[in-house]
Amino acid sequence: MKIVMAKHMGFCGGVRRAVDMAEQAARSGGPVHTLGPLIHNPQVVERLQQTGVNVAAQPTELDAGTFVVSAYGVEHAVLDEVRARGMAVVDATCPVVLRAHAMAEKLASEGYQIICLGDHGHPEMITLKEMLGDRVTIVHTREEAAKVKVAQRLGVVTQTTQSMENLRLIVGDLALRVKELKVLNTLCPAITVRQDETNAIVEQVDALLVIGGLGSSNTTRLAEIGRARGLPTYHVETAGEIAPEWFHGVETLGVVSGASTPEWIIQDVMHRLDAIGNAGSPHAH
């Protein structure tokens, strides 16, 4: 079985920075907490826990030591709360997310009604909603966007990990409904390049393997690209989940990873594919 691997694999810059900052905080001693996972990869979060980076489920659990803000950011209300309790704050919010929020805030200050294309309940969207309140409406699909009562001056932004295709479709729809439309491309370049590569790879393969957290929105987008093409698409977090029968009759397999997938998991997966390939070949070298 031939394997076509994406060029951009492993951590993006924002994820690497967040993990480095959390590890650094843990080395400095004292209790270290994040609120929810630092990044959307359970295996990395588990490794961080072993180094002393604990995950709090509620802000009330943050009461001493150091608070590390996740790569997706956190509401100002939480920051105020932990500072009031005397905790040190390490802000590992991805710079791309900060920039996207600043751009949305500027649009709002210019008097635009704002629609943001994003995942409801995603930390990045929760923070944006806290910042802008009623001035922003979060939509996830074309159908949701179609139901929004729009003003004549409309601004559109996106969660940094959204799909380019979805943005294109929704902007096309909205352009016909308003007098003035201002679209700011707040998609993360590191995410966009992975979507581009996946779009190119699905043209050349019989099946697609996507490596990364099942709760990771940017990783899920890559799997959606494969499924939209009607390709057999497998989204796994670890090598142990891979079943040899998936690849019966598959001559060429595409392999891509999300931006929060660590190098060691990718290597494990490649070893597993290698073992499956060799087991299935009587002429294995």
Q: Which string of DSSP letters, residue by residue, matches 22-74?
A: HHHHHHT-S-EEEES-SSS-HHHHHHHHHHTEEEESSGGG--SSEEEEPTT--
Which residue is it, tokens 């679209």?
Answer: 183
Report, as residue numbers or ranges, the catalytic residues.
Answer: 124
The reply to whether the predicted model has a pTM over 0.85 is: yes
pLDDT value of residue 124: 95
- Tell me what pLDDT residue 284 has: 36
Beta strand 2-5 with 53-56 is unpaired
Domains and CATH numbers, the chain: 2-10+190-279 (3.40.1010.20), 13-94 (3.40.50.11270), 96-187 (3.40.1010.20)
Instruction: Please tell me the predicted confidence (pLDDT) of residue 175.
Output: 96
Per-residue pLDDT of the chain (285 residues; tens, 9 = 90+): 999 999 999 999 999 999 999 999 999 988 999 999 999 999 999 999 999 999 999 999 998 999 999 999 999 999 999 999 999 999 999 999 999 999 999 999 999 999 999 999 999 999 999 999 999 999 999 999 999 999 999 999 999 999 999 999 999 999 999 999 999 999 999 999 999 999 999 999 999 999 999 999 999 999 999 999 999 999 999 999 999 999 999 999 999 999 999 999 999 999 999 999 877 554 433
What pLDDT score does 280 carry? Answer: 58
